Amino acid sequence: MSFRARISAALLAAALSGAFCDDGALVRSFLKGSVSEKTGAVRASTGSDAERMAGLGIDFCLSVSGILGDDRDVRALALASVLALPDESVPSERERLMALFRQFPDETLRISVLEKLASSPSDSVRGDLVSLFAELSSSSPSSAASYLESLSKSGKIRDNKNLLPEIAENVLSDAIYSVEAVPDGTLSAGEPSVALMLRSFGVVAEAGWTRASPLVPRCFAQCVRLYRAGLVEAESFARLVFLSSRFPSVTTVEAIRSCLADCNALVEGGSEQPPEAVMLSLITALGELGDKSAFDDLLYVTYLGYSDSVVAKARESLSRLRW
């Protein structure tokens, strides 16, 4: 529906409902007023009026975005319109909401659009969000990571619990591929795909999203690269080990076992022992996974002069292996 058509429909609906003195006044105020007065009219709307006025505000902002996209008052109107839109109206407005996101670079507005879209259980809206994050993971990985972080902290999507891990699963593969493509020696903490990989992996792991299981070994391998390059602190890497262990599979076991074997080889060769937090995380993960293929590497820990706590944890994990 065009902006002009939306205006006509709003006026007609108000007249037919017998509420022209209220709703019609808001429409007239919107039509005749400045941008800030239009914002006031949208904010003043309630109930069914809110859907109508929010739609007018969104359409107006889209119609002027090419010229006034950076205007503070227009951005304020766009934000007010998004916030005023009832959640049940999101499916019918999803295309315009997506257009707002793409046409206005304002971070606050974009996050509000994402939260509004994420509040809807509609499959079509879910598909839009997945597609939008797929676009962002290619064009702006740092933005995708930032928006994923914002959504994960939002209390507005609690009734749509599977949405975030579904989004994260879809962008994780692209992020891993991008990190894998960076040559050794040139990888940096500022690499945008690194932040996206770590954030999306955290989302799927914390949600126990088993559909992402095939991606875990590849992701863990890149986490090892980051740790060895000094781009991830020991405590952070230990948490990544823990998160990886939540996806039990032969390939996950092999990835973690191989990392422990490398640590043992370094210590055997006279290198400094890895931080205790890292050793404990690897050993604990292998014990929880319980795969007997880790036996030799866990046993070797007890012979290499590690700290008493590391040796004790290795013995405990050995006792938990399944035969």
By CB neighbour count within 10 A (0-12 exposed, 13-18 middle, 19+ buried), where does 170 fall?
middle
Which strand (E) or helix (H) includes residue 119?
none
**CA–CA separation, 264 vs 266, rounded Å?**
5
Q: Which residues contact 104 (CB under 8 A, 6 or more apart)?
A: 61, 65, 69, 75, 78, 110
- Using H for helix, E for strand and C for coil, what is the string for 217-246? HHHHHHHHHHHHCCCCCHHHHHHHHHHHCC
Give phi and psi for 291, each to the nearest 5: -80, 130
Residue 185, Cβ neighbours under 10 Å: how many? 6
Q: Considering only the C-alpha atoms of the chain, give the largest distance between any 2 of them, rounded to a whole number of Å.
A: 87
CB 160 within 8 A of CB 118: yes
Each residue's pLDDT expressed in tens, for the chain with a length of 323 residues: 555 555 555 544 544 444 444 557 888 888 888 999 999 999 999 887 899 899 999 999 999 999 988 999 999 999 999 999 998 899 999 999 999 999 998 999 999 999 999 888 788 888 888 888 988 888 888 889 998 988 888 777 656 678 889 999 999 999 999 999 988 888 887 788 898 999 999 999 988 999 999 999 999 999 999 998 888 889 999 999 999 999 999 999 999 999 999 999 999 998 889 999 999 999 999 999 999 999 999 999 999 989 999 999 999 999 999 88
Distance of CA 147 to the CA centre of its chain: 6
* Sequence ranges of the domains in the chain: 1-118, 121-208, 233-323
